[in-house]
């Protein structure tokens, strides 16, 4: 179980005294050893090495931490000070372990935050438990954590908003794409995503708040992001199953269309869903079929159920105006939107 009251253990963790593990016991009673900053080199499969790297990094300035991370072999790139937006042209795709390049970046932007790509580029996948005005993801994650084996994380970092990043070793033979489960307030960052790491900070209420490592555990294992997604939102799993049945019966391959919708970033999600629903309408699929095929993809993109239903209904009115009892609403542009795959926490 992961809780928001964890930061008060930070002092003990930084002194190397204890770490707090997942389990059925209260979080305050979970104890294990914490690697010292000088122990072993970082390795995606070695939690103590990851802990040592993060402990060492968060005790330094951003510039020194960036060099330490690069020297340890973890690719890194700069993001705006007190923010999450990349400072380089290609974002996380520019991430490198080249010390000369990293030194040049932080020489130019000494207060830049530290961005690390997730998935195959770094060997690290991350589950993000969000805290937002509309709710948080702690209860949802606690409910499924042990059920699907998500209790095998390597490192536990608190975020400035009060959320949590759980680091897992990525499975090198099975890359997993990033997704967002808005209904559960839990996101996954794997291939195509990136995270901000300690000692980076962002502004919360006008005050700088840092990312902080607060716990590690031994013998970490990769997390199955598909099982996690389905456990967090059974409706999503049922809709995905319905979509597969529809594809088999209709002979239409809609999986690529749904995957494209699921990957739309903020600012392109409604437009992308509208475009995809129009394509289904134009190829003879009814609205209920479109909902079965695209609703789960819209949720993955971060849209609410109400938005998904409204957008798909609007697309069908636009595609079949003669069958609509009312005038069709003004439609978003239906040209393809730019394919931007990076996802930030």
pLDDT in tens, 258-296: 877 887 777 778 888 888 888 888 777 778 778 877 888
What pLDDT sits at residue 169? 92
Please choose, from the candidates 148, 168, 167, the residue with its C-alpha nearest in 3D space to the C-alpha of residue 156. Answer: 167
Please choose, from the candidates 31, 39, 40, 38, the residue with its C-alpha nearest in 3D space to the C-alpha of residue 12. Answer: 31
Helix 225-232 crosses helix 234-250 at what angle (to 10 degrees)? 110
Strand-pair partners of 187: 128, 180
pLDDT at position 144 over 80? yes
Peptide bond before residue 84 is cis, with ω within 30 degrees of 0: no
pLDDT confidence bin for 253, thresholds 50/70/90: low
Residues 201-214 have pLDDT tens digits of: 998 888 899 999 99
pTM above 0.85, yes or no: no
pLDDT confidence bin for 36, thresholds 50/70/90: very low
Domain map of the chain by residue range? Answer: 6-224, 233-323
- Rounded CA-CA distance 241/135 in Å is 28
What pLDDT sits at residue 16? 34
pLDDT confidence bin for 51, thresholds 50/70/90: confident
Residues 320-340 have pLDDT tens digits of: 776 544 444 444 443 333 333
What pLDDT sits at residue 209? 95
Return the number of other C-beta atoms located less than 10 Å from residue 322's C-beta: 5
């Amino acid at each position: 179980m992961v809780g928001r009251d964890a930061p008060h253990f930070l002092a003990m963790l930084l002194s190397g005294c204890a770490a707090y593990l997942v389990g059925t016991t209260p979080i305050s009673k979970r104890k294990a050893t914490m690697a010292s900053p000088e122990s072993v080199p970082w390795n995606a499969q070695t939690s103590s090495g990851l802990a040592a790297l993060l402990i060492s990094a968060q005790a330094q300035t951003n510039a020194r931490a960036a060099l330490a991370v690069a020297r340890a072999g973890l690719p890194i790139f700069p993001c705006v000070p007190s923010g999450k937006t990349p400072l380089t042209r290609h974002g996380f795709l520019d991430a490198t372990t080249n010390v000369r390049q990293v030194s040049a970046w932080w020489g130019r932007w000494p207060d830049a935050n530290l961005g690390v790509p997730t998935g195959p580029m770094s060997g690290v996948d991350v589950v993000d438990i969000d805290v937002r005005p509309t709710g948080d993801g702690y209860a949802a994650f606690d409910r499924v954590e042990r059920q699907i084996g998500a209790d095998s994380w390597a490192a536990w970092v608190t975020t400035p908003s009060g959320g949590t990043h759980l680091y897992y070793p990525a499975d090198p033979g099975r890359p997993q794409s990033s997704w967002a489960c808005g209904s559960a307030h839990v996101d996954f960052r794997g291939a195509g995503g990136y995270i901000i790491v300690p000692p980076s900070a962002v502004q919360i209420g006008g005050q700088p708040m840092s990312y902080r490592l607060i716990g590690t555990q031994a013998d970490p294992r990769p997390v199955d992001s598909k099982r996690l997604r389905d456990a967090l939102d059974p409706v999503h799993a049922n809709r995905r199953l319905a979509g597969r049945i529809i594809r088999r019966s209709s002979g239409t391959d809609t999986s690529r269309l749904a995957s494209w919708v699921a990957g739309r970033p903020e600012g392109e999600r409604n437009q992308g869903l509208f475009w995809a629903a129009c394509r289904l309408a134009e190829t003879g699929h009814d609205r209920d079929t479109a909902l079965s095929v695209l609703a789960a993809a819209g949720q993955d993109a971060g849209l609410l159920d109400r938005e998904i239903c409204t957008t798909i209904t609007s697309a069908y009115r636009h595609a079949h105006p003669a069958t609509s009892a009312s005038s069709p609403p003004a439609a978003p542009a239906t040209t393809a939107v730019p394919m931007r795959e990076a996802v930030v926490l």
